[in-house]
Amino acid sequence: MAMKLIFLAMLLCLLLASTPKAHASVFDVTSATYGAKPGSDVSTALAKAWSDACASPSASKVVVPSGTYKLKEANFRGPCKAPIEMQVQGTLQAPADAGQLTRRDTWVGFQYIDMLTLSGGGTFDGQGALSWNQNDCHENKNCKPIPVNLRFEFLTNSKVQDITSLNSKFFHMHVFRCNHTTFQQLTITAPDDSRNTDGIHIGASTGINITHAKIGTGDDCISIGDDSHEITVTDVTCGPGHGISIGSLGKYKDEKDVTGIIVKNCTLTNTDNGCENQNISRFSFA
Ligand SMILES: *[C@@H]1O[C@H](CO)[C@@H](O)[C@H](O)[C@H]1NC(C)=O
Ligand SMILES: *[C@@H]1O[C@H](CO)[C@@H](O)[C@H](O)[C@H]1NC(C)=O
Ligand SMILES: *[C@@H]1O[C@H](CO)[C@@H](O)[C@H](O)[C@H]1NC(C)=O
Ligand SMILES: *[C@@H]1O[C@H](CO)[C@@H](O)[C@H](O)[C@H]1NC(C)=O
């Protein structure tokens, strides 16, 4: 009887394991085709693996196995032919000197993709310490742009999960014009005294869920900018930092309203403000 149950359980596991997701074609950057090696720069290997995976007519998965790799730049652009996953198991390290990046405001970017999953348990290490000292944006309105660790633009039906963003030079994640996308199981860390290393900034996006994230950077954990709607934040641990904020709004002309923001069951420790609304007059609950 017991044996039969075990057999049934195993059969069930096999059936579950063989759902279509498990059949994604794998594009491993360390395979002979792409030739990436821990310790060296993976920019070219990763760009090639992405473009092959993105062109794949069925679901695909780009894999960065465990190990530490340098990454000078990365811009992952869609549209792709099928759902695509980027599984980062290792650590990707940005150049410490922001001047070495091609895109001055971004280290790693994802754009125009439907059904992207970014996952893998790995770390995006922005090596930001040099930039924090050079950053004068708190006193200079026309300061030079500083790269964010991860920029997500024009994504739909996507997931960013189970990754760590460490020591970004500027904001950790910048989410712009994304719809119906979930951020979960994230760790976002920088020292308390690092400058402008906000956790997740969302602008002009609809249907964004952030859940089970641990964010501590000394700045805003989550900030929500204009034209954002249906943003749900649950089970987020925030601090040290400024808390969760809406705004600043009203600085520019023709800004659109922020509506439908829900913040539930979040733990804020060592935060200046908890939940802050920097311009209550323009904030409406839908
Ligand atoms: C997101 O939704 C808005 C409003 O529904 C729409 O105008 C916009 O085109 C959508 N963006 C994308 C990237 O699909
Ligand atoms: C986000 O959460 C809300 C409320 O729990 C849910 O209705 C919605 O479907 C979720 N959206 C996504 C993109 O998962
Ligand atoms: C609230 O958050 C805590 C800590 O993250 C978690 O352990 C708990 O399950 C959550 N409660 C609910 C009702 O989701
Ligand atoms: C708030 O919004 C109002 C009207 O849009 C604007 O005049 C004011 O400067 C804003 N305040 C802040 C702190 O952004």
pTM of the predicted protein model: 0.85
Q: What are phi and psi of 68, to 5 degrees?
A: -110, 130
| pLDDT value of residue 243 | 83
Q: What are phi and psi of 185, to 5 degrees?
A: 50, 50
201 touches 225 (CB < 8 A): yes
Judge whether 201 counts as a catalytic residue: no
Omega before 248 within 30 of 0, i.e. cis: yes
Judge whether 219 counts as a catalytic residue: yes
- First-to-last C-alpha distance (Å) of the chain: 56
| pLDDT value of residue 284 | 35
Q: Which of 219, 220, 226, 229 is catalytic?
A: 219
The answer to the question of residue 73 being in a domain is: yes
| pLDDT value of residue 175 | 98
Q: Are residue 121 and residue 177 in the same domain, yes or no?
A: no
Q: Are residue 174 and residue 124 in the same domain, yes or no?
A: no
Distance between CA 191 and CA 195 in Å, rounded?
9
Minimum CA distance residue for ligand 2 atom 13 = 180
Q: Are residue 69 and residue 121 in the same domain, yes or no?
A: yes
| pLDDT value of residue 198 | 92
| pLDDT value of residue 134 | 82
Domain count, the chain: 2
Is the four-CA dihedral 102, 103, 106, 108 of positive or negative sign?
A: negative
**Mutation choice for ligand 2 from 206, 232, 233, CB with most ligand atoms inside 8 A:** 232
| pLDDT value of residue 266 | 87
Q: Are residue 284 and residue 176 in the same domain, yes or no?
A: yes
> Looking at 130, 161, 192, which one is the last position of a domain?
130
187 touches 165 (CB < 8 A): yes
Q: What are phi and psi of 266, to 5 degrees?
A: -100, 150
The domain of 32 spans 23-130
Q: Are residue 123 and residue 208 in the same domain, yes or no?
A: no
Q: What is the mean pLDDT of each run of 10 residues along the chain (286 residues)?
A: 55 52 85 97 98 98 98 97 98 96 95 98 97 81 89 98 97 98 98 92 97 94 93 91 75 77 84 54 35
| Ligand 1 site, residue 154, Cβ cutoff 6 A | yes
Q: Are residue 118 and residue 192 in the same domain, yes or no?
A: no
| Ligand 1 site, residue 206, Cβ cutoff 6 A | yes
| pLDDT value of residue 246 | 81
The answer to the question of residue 18 being in a domain is: no
| pLDDT value of residue 46 | 98
Q: How far is the CA of 119 from the centre of ligand 2 (A)?
A: 19
